[in-house]
Amino acid sequence: MTDKEIGYIAGMIDADGCIGSQKNSKCRTYRPYVVIVQKNPVTLHWFQNKFGGSIMKVYRNHPSGKKQYFRWMAVNQKAVDMLKLCQDCLVEKKAQAILAIQMVEVTGCGKFRGKKLPDWIIEKQFEFHKSIGRLNSPATTECVGSPCGEMRQSELTQMEKRESESRRTLTA
Range of the domain at 41: 3-136
With cut-offs at 50, 70 and 90, classify the pLDDT of residue 59.
confident
Average the pLDDT over 54-75 and give the result: 90
145 falls within a domain: no
Q: Is residue 80 part of a domain?
A: yes
Virtual torsion, Cα 154, 96, 137, 163, nearest 10 deg: 0
| pTM, full prediction | 0.74
> What is the total count of domains within the chain?
1
- Output the CA torsion 8→62→35→31 (10° steps): 160
Note the pLDDT tens digit of each residue in 105-156.
887 655 666 677 788 888 898 899 999 988 987 654 444 433 333 344 444 5
For residues 17 and 39, give the distance between their C-alpha atoms in angstroms, rounded to a whole number: 13
Which CATH number is 49's domain given? 3.10.28.10
Does residue 53 surpass a pLDDT of 60?
A: yes
- Residue 142 is assigned to a structural domain of this protein: no
Helical (H) or strand (E) element with 22: strand 17-23
